[in-house]
Structures are given as structure tokens and as C-alpha cells.
């Protein structure tokens, strides 16, 4: 039986000439999974959901409790332009064998945190900025960047304008509004920004964006990577997240009278995120490689502080433009694109709400380049650092009850177990750096 109210969707699919439907969901690590069905089968699935074996998905369930169901969110309908228009996708929620929302489904984790905010009359809006690299594919997947251009370069230096234009065209045809696209600081590095929106919808777009970038790159014989720090000695790729809380249709972060145009609510929210920043790292910067990006000198945050123009700060408050109340926001700069957007938004929101509920006050903002402060100066001014490794970040998360509660027991345990397994494996490696450094001299 088709779900009530789904008739319009089937009309649209017919009009769009869609023949197949991809049912997408996401595992704990943020990898998109999908299965494809026909439009005919979708009539049944729209009402009842689709059975699948959850035991084969990373971090889901054990083999003896493997019955799971996918239920498509009909509002997430979009035709996948790179399939020639014959395939549409729906993003799905995952249910367990008793038809309850599955606690290990990252979408469910975010939904629950959004519900908590809703009970406080608040809505969480986010605008992520994902950076990525384009590499040449010749000789397999080499590490030669596609070009040698830098920030905002255009014309014959920036060879990827066409690739980015393809991504923009595809995403806009799917209903996503793109703000701008540009070459980033490092050779072969790019950024395409889209309009902010409700966190649940935006998390879905983050994953679609990655697919769109990778698909477009392939067409030009390139490989797109969202690895946080693929190259030594140049900028890594971040996923800064601009955030605001809305109340009764208004941006509740704005306050005309404040020096930074920030409301007390915004200040409490910032204080909460600063308080949980170290534990938040395990979710926002979830891979071994993430910590190669979070070092001084490359526009990535290292120190736990906030400021207005300061790009070395963890939290940046973009300057207020007269008349643009709705644009008041704070930018959290630690996340990178290897993170699971559903879990990052849930963790960032619950950290901020902890500050709101407990009326925490942030320290004084820092308006100078923190990279240039000496260790003594940092200590004197009480500026802590983000964890230096995934291991340290996981240890912090293991001691943070607020974030553990936001993730839920299932996700917290599976995520940290996978991370510690990676750490164990990484520690055993003998790297090229060690051979270069020690082999001849020892
Ligand atoms: N690529 C830098 C990072 O790793 C950020 C550059 C920028 O401010 O856009 O976070
Ligand atoms: Mg950028």
C-alpha cells in the first residue's frame, strides 16, 4: 500500500520520467549506502518500508538481530542528474525489527537532538563549507594535484572551473541553492558553498554534495578527495559550519545592542561549544588524518577560543552587515569533511544547548593571530588547545556525558570502538618519515 499523501510524488516521478529509485541511508562513519528499486516497487515501499540485512552495515547490528527497515523520507525526493534523469533518490530513516526508529541511525541521533531544541522553542540552522582536492587520475590515483592555482585564482590558472560549474548545475537542478564556488588556497583545492538551512535537510545535502563532486571529477579524468590533510605542507580541507538558532521565525542570535550583535542566547551557545570542544573533536575530526590538519599555520583551528575576524580561532563570528539580522551566526571551524554530518550537527547542537541550559558565559574573545602566541602567553591567558590526536579526542569523548547522551549508547560505543581500532593499527605502522629520519643515522 502506498503511503497516504504520497500520490503527488508518484505523479512527479512520472512527469520527470524516473524509472528507478535509490533508497539512501548512512552508516555511523558517514558513508552513504543505497539500494535501487523500480518505481513500481516504490509504491509498496513508500508505505511499508523496505527490509534489509542490518548486520552487513558498519556499526549497525549483530547477525542475530539483523532485520531492519528503510523508510523513505518523501520530502527528500530529488532526481540524480548524473544518471541522465532516470534515477531519483530518497533519503531514508532506519527502523529496527520492532519498527522503532533505530538508535544506531545517525539521522535518528540528529532528529532526537533537534527535538530537544524544539522543546526549548529553538530551531538549528547550519551552513557547512566543504573543501576538497582534485587529483589527476593518470597512473592510477596518484597524488599530483590537478592545478597549481591558489585562493580565488581564475582564468588559465584555475583548471577546475568547469568541474565546479558541473557540480553547481547538478546540485541546483536537484533543488539546492548554491552561494558561490572558488579555488581554495592549496594547489588543486576547491570550495563550493550552499545556502544554510535546517540541520536535518542540510546533513543530507552534505552527502549528496560529496557524490556530486566525485561524479563530476570522474567525468574530467580527475579524482576528488575529501581527506582532511592529503598533502604535507599546504592547507588541509575543512568543513566549517556556520550556525544559528531561530525562534518564532527570527534569528535568535541577533541583538542590536551588543558589541558583536550577539544575543545572550548566542553567547551561552558559544560557551557551551567551547566547553565541549575537546570531546567534540572525536566527532567533528573523526579520523587519524584529521589531526594532521589541526596544526598551526594552515587556517585550521588549534586553540579553543573565539573571535570576530580571527581565522585561527575555533569559533569565528562573521562581521554583521547592516540590515542582515538573519545572517547573524557563529562559524565552528574544527569539523572536516571526513565527519558524519548528522553526528557532527547533533553533537555541536547538544554542546551549544548545554551552554544555553546552564547559562554559561564565554571568556573574552581573542582578536589576534593565536598561532603567534607563545606557550607561556597561551597558558597565562588560559587558552586551551584541541586534542593533538584521535586517541586524545576519543579519551575526551569518553569523559563527556553530554555528548555521549546526544550520540546515544549504541553510536558512542560503535564509533569509539572503530576509532580505537584504527588507532591501534596506525600505531603499528613504520612510516616513510621514520625511515627517512632514522634508517641511515641509526
Ligand atoms: N582550509 C582551511 C581549513 O583547513 C580553511 C581555509 C578557509 O578559511 O576557508 O580549515
Ligand atoms: Mg574555505
Structural domains in the chain plus CATH codes: 7-101 (3.10.20.70), 112-433 (3.30.590.10)
Mean pLDDT of 421-439: 97
pLDDT at 166 over 60: yes
313 CB less than 6 Å from ligand 1?
no
Q: What is the pLDDT of residue 232?
A: 95
Ligand with minimal distance to 297 CA: 1
Of 391, 394, 387, the closest CA to residue 334 belongs to: 387
> Which residue lies with its CA nearest to atom 8 of ligand 1?
299
pLDDT at 398 over 60: yes
What gap in Å lies between CA 167 and CA 348, rounded to an integer? 28
Q: Per-residue pLDDT tens for 236-276?
A: 999 999 999 999 999 999 999 998 899 999 999 999 999 99
Q: What is the pLDDT of residue 372?
A: 83
Lowest mean pLDDT among 154-168, 283-297, 311-325, 410-424: 154-168
Write down the pTM of the prediction.
0.95
Q: What is the pLDDT of residue 154?
A: 64
293 CB less than 6 Å from ligand 1?
yes
Ligand with minimal distance to 235 CA: 1
Task: Report the atom number in ligand 1 closest to the C-alpha of 333.
Answer: 10
299 CB less than 6 Å from ligand 1?
yes
Of 303, 306, 280, the closest CA to residue 367 belongs to: 306
**Radius of gyration of the CA atoms of the chain, in A:** 22
Which residues have C-beta within 8 Å of that of residue 383, sequence separation ≥ 6? 303, 304, 305, 366, 370, 373
Q: What is the pLDDT of residue 2?
A: 47
Q: Which three cell numbers stand for residue 147?
A: 592545478
Give 314-318 contacts, CB < 8 A, sequence gap 24+: 314/274, 314/277, 314/386, 315/270, 315/273, 315/274, 317/260, 317/262, 317/365, 318/242
CB atoms within 10 A of CB 190: 27
Q: Which three cell numbers stand for residue 349?
A: 547542537
147 CB less than 6 Å from ligand 1?
no
* Cα 143 to averaged position of ligand 2 atoms, centre (Å): 21
103 CB less than 6 Å from ligand 1?
no
- Helix pair angle (264-275, 341-357), 10° resolution: 120
Ligand with minimal distance to 180 CA: 2
Q: What is the pLDDT of residue 367?
A: 83
Task: Report the atom number in ligand 1 closest to the C-alpha of 189.
Answer: 1
Residue 173's pLDDT band (boundaries 50, 70, 90)? Answer: very high
> Which residue lies with its CA nearest to atom 6 of ligand 1?
299
Q: Per-residue pLDDT tens for 101-141?
A: 999 999 999 999 999 999 999 999 999 999 999 998 766 55
Task: Report the atom number in ligand 1 closest to the C-alpha of 191.
Answer: 9
DSSP of 138-175, one letter per residue? STTT---BS----TT--TTS-TTHHHHHHHHHHHHHTT
Mutate to test the pocket of ligand 1, among 132, 180, 235 (most ligand atoms within 8 A of CB): 235
> Which residue lies with its CA nearest to atom 5 of ligand 1?
299
365 CB less than 6 Å from ligand 1?
no
Residue 52's pLDDT band (boundaries 50, 70, 90)? Answer: confident
Q: What is the pLDDT of residue 160?
A: 83
Would you give the DSSP letter of residue 263?
-
- Residues with Cβ–ion distance below 5 A, ligand 2: 191
Would you give the DSSP letter of residue 386?
-
pLDDT at 215 over 90: yes
* Cα 117 to averaged position of ligand 1 atoms, centre (Å): 29
Would you give the DSSP letter of residue 177?
P
pLDDT at 58 over 60: yes
Which residues have C-beta within 8 Å of that of residue 408, sequence separation ≥ 6? 103, 104, 109, 112
72 DSSP β-pair partners: 92
Q: What is the pLDDT of residue 155?
A: 60
Q: Which three cell numbers stand for residue 15?
A: 512527469
Judging by DSSP bridges, how do beta strands 20-26 and 87-95 pair with one another? parallel
Mean pLDDT of 371-381: 87
Lowest mean pLDDT among 51-60, 291-300, 384-393, 416-425: 51-60
Beta-strand (E) ranges in 27-154? 32-38, 50-53, 67-79, 87-95, 123-136
Mean pLDDT of 427-441: 97
> Which residue lies with its CA nearest to atom 7 of ligand 1?
299
Q: What is the pLDDT of residue 1?
A: 42
What gap in Å lies between CA 51 and CA 69, rounded to an integer? 5
Are 296 and 374 in contact by the 8 Å Cβ rule? The answer is: no
By three-state DSSP, how is residue 416 classified?
Answer: helix
Q: What is the pLDDT of residue 152?
A: 65
Task: Report the atom number in ligand 1 closest to the C-alpha of 186.
Answer: 1
pLDDT at 393 over 80: yes
Q: Per-residue pLDDT tens for 303-336?
A: 999 998 777 789 999 988 888 888 899 999 999 9
Task: State which H helix or E strand residue 348 sits in.
Answer: helix 341-357
Mutate to test the pocket of ligand 1, among 128, 130, 131, 315 (most ligand atoms within 8 A of CB): 131
- Helix pair angle (264-275, 277-284), 10° resolution: 70
* Cα 160 to averaged position of ligand 1 atoms, centre (Å): 19
Of 411, 353, 403, 359, the closest CA to residue 119 belongs to: 353
Q: What is the pLDDT of residue 63?
A: 60
Alpha carbon 148 to its chain's center: 27
Sign of the Cα torsion 427, 432, 437, 438 reads positive
Q: What is the pLDDT of residue 308?
A: 84
Amino acid at each position: 500500500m502506498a503511503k497516504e499523501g504520497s500520490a503527488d510524488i508518484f505523479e512527479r516521478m512520472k512527469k520527470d520520467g524516473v524509472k528507478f529509485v535509490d533508497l539512501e541511508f548512512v552508516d555511523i562513519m558517514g558513508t552513504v549506502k543505497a539500494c535501487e528499486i523500480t518505481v513500481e516497487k516504490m509504491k509498496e515501499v513508500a508505505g511499508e518500508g523496505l527490509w534489509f540485512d542490518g548486520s552487513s552495515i558498519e556499526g549497525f547490528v549483530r547477525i542475530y538481530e539483523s532485520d531492519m527497515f528503510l523508510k523513505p523520507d518523501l520530502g527528500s525526493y530529488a532526481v540524480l542528474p548524473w544518471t541522465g534523469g532516470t534515477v531519483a533518490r530518497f533519503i531514508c530513516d532506519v527502523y529496527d525489527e520492532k519498527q522503532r526508529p533505530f538508535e544506531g541511525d545517525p539521522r535518528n541521533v540528529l532528529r532526537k537532538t533537534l527535538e530537544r531544541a524544539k522543546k526549548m522553542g529553538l530551531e538549528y540552522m547550519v551552513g557547512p563549507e566543504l573543501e576538497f582536492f582534485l587529483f589527476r587520475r593518470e597512473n592510477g590515483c596518484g597524488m599530483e594535484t590537478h592545478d597549481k592555482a591558489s585562493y580565488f585564482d581564475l582564468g588559465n590558472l584555475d583548471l577546475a572551473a568547469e568541474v565546479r560549474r558541473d557540480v553547481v548545475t547538478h546540485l541546483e537542478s536537484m533543488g539546492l541553492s548554491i552561494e558561490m564556488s572558488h579555488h581554495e588556497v592549496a594547489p588543486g583545492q576547491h570550495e563550493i558553498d550552499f545556502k544554510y538551512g535546517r540541520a536535518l535537510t542540510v546533513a543530507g545535502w552534505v552527502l549528496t554534495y560529496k557524490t556530486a563532486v566525485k561524479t563530476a571529477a570522474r567525468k574530467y579524468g580527475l579524482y576528488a578527495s575529501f581527506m582532511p590533510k592529503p598533502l604535507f605542507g599546504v592547507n588541509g580541507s575543512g568543513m566549517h559550519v556556520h550556525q544559528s538558532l531561530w525562534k518564532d521565525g527570527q534569528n535568535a542570535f541577533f541583538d542590536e545592542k551588543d558589541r558583536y550583535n550577539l544575543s545572550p542566547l548566542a553567547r551561552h551557545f558559544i560557551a557551551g561549544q567551547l566547553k565541549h570542544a575537546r570531546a567534540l573533536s572525536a566527532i567533528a575530526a573523526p579520523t587519524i588524518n584529521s589531526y594532521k590538519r589541526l596544526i598551526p599555520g594552515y587556517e585550521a583551528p588549534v586553540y579553543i577560543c573565539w573571535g570576530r575576524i580571527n581565522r585561527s580561532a575555533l569559533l569565528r563570528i562573521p562581521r554583521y552587515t547592516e540590515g542582515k539580522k538573519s545572517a547573524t551566526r557563529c562559524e565552528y571551524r574544527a569539523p572536516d569533511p571526513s565527519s558524519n554530518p548528522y553526528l557532527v550537527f547533533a553533537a555541536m547542537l547538544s554542546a551549544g544547548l548545554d551552554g544555553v541550559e546552564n547559562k554559561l558565559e564565554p571568556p573574552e574573545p581573542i582578536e589576534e593571530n593565536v598561532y603567534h602566541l607563545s606557550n607561556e602567553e597561551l597558558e597565562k591567558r588560559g587558552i586551551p588547545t584541541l586534542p593533538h590526536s584521535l586517541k586524545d579526542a576519543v579519551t575526551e569523548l569518553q569523559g563527556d556525558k553530554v555528548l555521549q547522551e546526544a550520540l546515544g549508547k549504541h553510536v558512542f560505543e560503535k564509533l569509539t570502538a572503530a576509532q580505537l581500532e584504527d588507532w591501534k593499527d596506525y600505531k603499528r605502522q613504520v612510516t616513510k618519515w621514520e625511515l627517512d629520519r632514522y634508517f641511515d643515522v641509526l
